[in-house]
């Protein structure tokens, strides 16, 4: 379709060219030649156009050429007439000229016209050319598009070709496969045909067999049908018989039912007979028991005797217990007495021994009689008194001595005070001595210096004396010497005044004293050192106390001491608890163990044995009582219950319900029947036997009889 | 300068640690020597060049660590003046023995402190340990004259702190103790040059 479209468009474009250039051979096919031809056609078109234009020019030029010769001709004609023109001729010539001129103008106008036409045509042609060029361009574009498409198409074609080739290959392969399959299938078909043939043959055989069978079966069917008919007839016969049988069966059932009822009756009768036998047996046993009654009574008597003896024994036991209790109380009362006795004995023994000792002591002192002992004792006491007096004296003396000691101490203190004073004095004196010594030293030094000075002066004097001594100076010197000697003398006097020996003595005494004082001072220094140490210690203590007040004491809350404390308190509590418990148990134990444990044990054992006895007795009693009751019930036909104090309820063996009972009360006079619901129904019997015969046993046996007859009647019925 | 740098330098904290270590060993030693706890609960340990016995009991251990960590803080802050190990009779709370460890604060090496901007001491550690060893040996020797403890005893450690000191958690204020008819024995002192430790044992003189 696209190709056709393109082709039509192409043809439409091409047509005008074809019209223009008919010379070009018509081209039907699209090929590269066409493009080449286009250029040719363009060329030819252009040529055409040029030809056309040149043609016109040629035509115009030819026309000019046509006219020009004419002119030339005229010119030739003008030049040729050589004879003078006649007026007419001139006139004609003039007319011709004018005409010619007119024609020329005409022709010129025509030429102009032609020129304008030509120009128009040129314009037209140019326009057409532009349009054609545009068209050409468009065509070229279209052509390029077409080429692209063509290439695309070619590619597609190539692809399609490849695909085609592939498809062909595949086709060939498939064909080969299919051929193979075909071969196989054909083989299979052949096999199948063979099989089919075989099958058909076998089927035919089977069919024949089946037909045979069918025939046989049909025959058998026919036979069986005949048999069926026979059987039907028999069935009809049998049904009739069955009906007869059912009737017979109903009859049989009836008879069997009757039989059952009869057997039931028989069984009842047998049961009655058995019960009768039982009764007989019971009667026999009752008789036997009645015979045994005497033995039983004996036994009862024996048991009663036993019981009595047991009661007696119990009473005895109680008595014994009381006695034991009494004896125990007595023993309890007697125990302290015994203890006292023991103590007294012990005391006695000790006293005797002490007495013996006393006696022995007395003997040792050579005293046999108590009197002599007393005398000796008196003498001893007197001696003691004397001794005490002496001791008191001694004590008074001691007091005196202590007082003396105190006074001595006081004196000593005084002396020490004096000593201190003396010490101060000594110190003063020592200082004085010291000063004096110093002064002495000073004085001796002064003296020495003066001596030196003197020596010097003497030397000078000798020198001056030896040299050129002046009379005046010598006089001066001598005066000085004199003075100095005087001073010396003065000093000597002063020294003499200080008595040497006395002074030395005094010094010695003072020295002795000072040494003494020194010793004392040393001892005191020691004391002081001791006291200082004590003071320091006390200061330290004081400081510690002060520090304690300044500091606060901290410790960890859960320290080992606190924990140990806690533990010990806990232990203490536990121990106290245990103690309490033990005390409690002890108290209980005292209560228990106050009585003699062996006796208690014995009593307990007795109690246990008596309990066991009692239990056994009770068991025996209950069993015998039960037996007795049963026997009474069996023999007399009445069950007697004691409902309260002196109230008895009796119910008959043959009573219809437990509601039917009579009650009696025991009076001082005898026994009386109490009114009950049941007794009110027995008006006749009450009237007859109680009011008339006044006999309760009779009434009861009559009631028994009546009830027995009633129940037996019922049973019989 | 270089000589000074090589010198031993003990800080306040380090000194407090030395003190607390001494306290630990001293308290353990006293507990062992005085037979407050069975000897099999103690383990031998080498310290200060001698064998000392340290309790293996978990309660004592935890008590001492609690006590000494807090005490170290206090010693660093100069709050404590004395620690007293009190041995008392559990039955009647009577104080039988008191080991006072008096702590005194010293200035240390002033020049070095100025240089370091921190109070430090410059005492040789070996010398300190030597001193401590001497004290420990004395403590061990006290058993010869201390009276025999024949009752069930327990111990407590009282810290004599300044009154402005806060009472931390698990701590409580206690009453100061006093021993009637007491005999004091001053043991040797030792000093870290920042702290001086004075050990005094006072015990009840036997009647």
Q: Taking the alpha carbons of A506, A507, A508, A514 in that order, is the dihedral positive or negative?
A: positive
Token pair for residue A53? Answer: 């234009």
DSSP state of A691: I
pLDDT at A61: 45
pLDDT tops 60 at residue A36: no
Residues A193-212 have a mean pLDDT of 92
DSSP state of A467: S
Chains A and B form CB pairs within 8 A to the count of 84
| pLDDT tier at B5, thresholds 50, 70, 90 | very low
pLDDT at A109: 92
A547 and B160 within 8 Å at the Cβ level: the answer is yes
pLDDT at A592: 58
B90 and A561 within 8 Å at the Cβ level: the answer is yes
pLDDT tops 60 at residue A669: yes
pLDDT tops 70 at residue A76: no
Report d(CA A696, CA A479) in Å as an integer. Answer: 200
Answering whether pTM is above 0.90, one says: no
A558 and B90 within 8 Å at the Cβ level: the answer is no
B161 and A552 within 8 Å at the Cβ level: the answer is yes
β-bridge partners, A551: B162
Residues A552-574 have a mean pLDDT of 83
**Are B96 and B69 contacting, i.e. CB atoms less than 8 angstroms apart?**
no
pLDDT tops 70 at residue A135: yes
pLDDT tops 80 at residue B181: no
A560 and B59 within 8 Å at the Cβ level: the answer is yes
pLDDT at A466: 54
B 47-86 residues inside an 8 A Cβ radius of A = 59-60, 63, 66-67, 81-82, 86
A552 and B173 within 8 Å at the Cβ level: the answer is yes
| pLDDT tier at A5, thresholds 50, 70, 90 | low
Query: What angle do the packed helices A87-364 and A597-636 form, to 10 degrees?
Result: 110
pLDDT at A590: 67
The answer to which of A27-31, A296-300, B173-177 has the lowest mean pLDDT is A27-31
Residues A346-367 have a mean pLDDT of 86
B chain contacts of residue A552, beta-carbon cutoff 8 Å: 160-163, 165, 173
A 504-563 residues inside an 8 A Cβ radius of B = 547-548, 550-563
Higher per-residue pLDDT: A381 or A472? A381
Q: What is the mean pLDDT of chain A?
A: 83
Residues A496-511 have a mean pLDDT of 78
Give how far A557 is from chain B: nearest CA, Å. 5
**Is the minimum CB–CB distance between B90 and chain A shorter than 8 Å?**
yes
Q: What is the pLDDT of residues A54-63, one digit of tens each?
A: 544 444 444 4
So what's the ipTM on this one?
0.73
Question: Cα A222–A227–A232 angle (5° rounding)?
Answer: 125
Which residue, chain included where needed, has tokens 């009862």?
A300
pLDDT at A463: 63
pLDDT at B112: 76
Residue A636: exposed, middle, or buried by beta-carbon count in 10 A (0-12, 13-18, 19+)? middle
A chain contacts of residue B159, beta-carbon cutoff 8 Å: 553-555
pLDDT at A40: 47
**pLDDT above 70 as % of chain A:** 83
| pLDDT tier at A672, thresholds 50, 70, 90 | confident
Give how far A549 is from chain B: nearest CA, Å. 9
Helix (H), strand (E) at residue B191: strand B182-191
In sequence order, what are the residues at sequence separation of 6 or more whose Cβ sits closer than 8 angstroms to the Cβ of residue B160? A547, A548, A551, A552, A553, A554, B80, B81, B82, B83, B84, B176
- A554-579 as b/e, with b when 16 or more CB fall inside 10 Å? bbbebbbbbebbeeeeeeeeeeeeee
pLDDT tops 50 at residue A71: no
**pLDDT above 90 as % of chain A:** 48
A551 and B81 within 8 Å at the Cβ level: the answer is yes
Interface-testing mutation among B68, B78, B90, B93, with chain A (most A C-beta atoms within 10 A): B90
Nearest CB partner across the interface for B66, out of A551, A552, A556 = A556
Residues B48-77 have a mean pLDDT of 87
The segment with the largest mean pLDDT, out of A588-592, A605-609, A656-660, is A605-609
- A656-681 as b/e, with b when 16 or more CB fall inside 10 Å? eeeebbbbbeeeeeeeebeeeebbee
B chain contacts of residue A550, beta-carbon cutoff 8 Å: 162-163
The answer to which of A80-94, A160-174, B82-96 has the lowest mean pLDDT is A80-94
């Amino acid at each position: 379709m696209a190709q056709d479209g393109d082709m039509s468009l192409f043809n439409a474009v091409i047509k005008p060219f074809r019209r223009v250039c008919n010379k070009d051979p018509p081209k039907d096919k699209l090929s590269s030649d066409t493009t080449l031809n286009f250029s040719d056609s363009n060329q030819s078109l252009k040529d055409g156009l040029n030809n056309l234009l040149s043609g016109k020019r040629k035509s115009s030029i030819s026309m000019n050429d046509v006219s020009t010769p004419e002119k030339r001709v005229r010119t030739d004609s003008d030049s040729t007439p050589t004879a003078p023109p006649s007026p007419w001729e001139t006139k004609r010539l003039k007319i011709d000229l004018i005409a010619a001129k007119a024609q020329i103008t005409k022709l010129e106008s025509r030429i102009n016209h032609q020129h304008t036409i030509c120009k128009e045509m040129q314009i037209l042609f140019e326009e057409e050319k532009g349009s054609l060029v545009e068209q050409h361009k468009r065509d070229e574009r279209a052509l390029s598009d077409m080429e692209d498409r063509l290439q695309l198409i070619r590619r597609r074609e190539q692809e399609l070709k490849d695909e085609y080739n592939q498809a062909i290959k595949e086709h060939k392969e498939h064909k080969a496969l299919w051929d193979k399959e075909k071969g196989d299938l054909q083989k299979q078909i052949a096999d199948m045909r063979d099989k089919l043939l075989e099958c058909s043959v076998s089927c035919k055989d089977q069919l024949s067999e089946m037909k045979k069978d069918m025939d046989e079966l049909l025959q058998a069917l026919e036979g069986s049908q005949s048999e069926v008919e026979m059987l039907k007839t028999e069935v009809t016969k049998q049904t009739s018989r069955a009906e007869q049988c059912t009737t017979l069966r109903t009859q049989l059932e009836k008879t069997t039912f009757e039989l059952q009822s009869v057997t039931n009756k028989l069984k009842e009768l047998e049961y009655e007979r058995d019960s009768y036998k039982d009764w007989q047996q019971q009667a026999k046993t009752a008789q036997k028991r009645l015979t045994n009654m005497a033995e039983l009574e004996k036994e009862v008597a024996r048991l009663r005797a036993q019981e009595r003896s047991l009661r007696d024994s119990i009473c005895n036991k109680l008595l014994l217990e009381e006695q034991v209790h009494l004896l125990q109380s007595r023993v309890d009362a007697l125990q302290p007495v015994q203890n006292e006795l023991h103590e007294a004995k012990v005391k006695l023994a000790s006293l005797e021994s002490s007495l013996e000792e006393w006696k022995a002591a007395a003997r040792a002192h050579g005293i046999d009689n108590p009197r002599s002992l007393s005398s000796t004792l008196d003498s001893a006491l007197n001696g003691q008194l004397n001794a005490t007096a002496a001791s008191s004296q001694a004590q008074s003396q001691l007091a005196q001595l202590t007082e003396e000691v105190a006074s001595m101490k006081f004196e000593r203190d005084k002396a020490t005070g004096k000593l201190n004073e003396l010490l101060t004095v000594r110190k003063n004196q020592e200082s004085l001595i010291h000063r004096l010594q110093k002064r002495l030293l000073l004085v001796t030094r002064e003296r020495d210096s003066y001596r030196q000075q003197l020596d010097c002066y003497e030397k000078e004097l000798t020198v001056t004396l030896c040299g050129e001594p002046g009379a005046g100076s010598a006089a001066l010197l001598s005066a000085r010497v004199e003075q100095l000697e005087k001073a010396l003398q003065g000093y000597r006097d002063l020294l003499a005044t200080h008595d040497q020996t006395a002074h030395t003595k005094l010094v010695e005494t003072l020295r002795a004293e000072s040494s003494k004082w020194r010793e004392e001072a040393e001892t005191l220094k020691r004391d002081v050192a001791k006291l200082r140490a004590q003071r320091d210690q006390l200061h330290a203590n004081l400081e510690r106390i002060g520090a304690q007040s300044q500091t606060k004491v901290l410790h960890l809350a859960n320290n080992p001491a606190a924990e140990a404390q806690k533990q010990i308190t806990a232990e203490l509590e536990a121990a106290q608890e245990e103690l309490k418990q033990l005390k409690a148990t002890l108290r209980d134990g005292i209560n228990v163990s106050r009585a003699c444990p062996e006796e208690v044990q014995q009593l307990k054992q007795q109690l246990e044995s008596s309990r066991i006895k009692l239990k056994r007795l009770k068991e025996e009693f209950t069993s015998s009582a039960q037996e007795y009751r049963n026997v009474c019930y069996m023999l007399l036909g009445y069950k007697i219950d004691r409902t309260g104090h002196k109230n008895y309820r009796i119910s008959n063996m043959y009573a219809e319900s437990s509601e039917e009972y009579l009650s009696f009360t025991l009076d001082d006079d005898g026994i009386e029947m109490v009114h009950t619901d049941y007794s009110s129904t027995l008006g006749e019997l009450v009237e007859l036997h109680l009011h008339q015969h006044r006999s309760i046993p009779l009434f009861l046996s009559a009631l028994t009889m009546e009830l027995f007859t009633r129940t037996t009647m019922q049973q019989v019925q | 300068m270089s000589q000074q740098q090589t010198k031993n330098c003990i800080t306040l904290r380090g000194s407090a640690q030395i003190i607390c270590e001494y306290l630990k060993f001293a308290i353990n030693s006293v507990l062992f020597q005085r037979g407050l706890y069975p000897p099999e609960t103690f383990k031998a340990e080498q310290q200060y060049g001698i064998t000392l016995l340290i309790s293996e009991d978990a309660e004592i251990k935890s008590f001492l660590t609690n006590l000494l960590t807090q005490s170290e803080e206090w010693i660093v802050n100069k709050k404590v003046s004395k620690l007293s190990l009190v041995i008392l009779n559990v039955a009647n709370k009577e104080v039988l023995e008191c080991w006072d460890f008096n702590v005194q604060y010293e200035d240390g090496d002033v020049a070095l402190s100025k240089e370091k901007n921190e109070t430090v001491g410059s005492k040789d550690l070996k010398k300190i340990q030597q001193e401590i060893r001497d004290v420990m040996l004395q403590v061990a020797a006290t058993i010869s004259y201390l009276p025999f403890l024949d009752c069930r005893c327990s111990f407590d450690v009282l810290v004599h702190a300044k009154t402005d000191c806060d009472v931390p958690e698990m701590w409580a204020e206690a009453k100061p103790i006093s021993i009637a008819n007491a005999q004091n024995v001053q043991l040797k002192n030792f000093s870290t040059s920042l702290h001086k430790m004075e050990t005094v044992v006072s015990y009840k003189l036997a009647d």
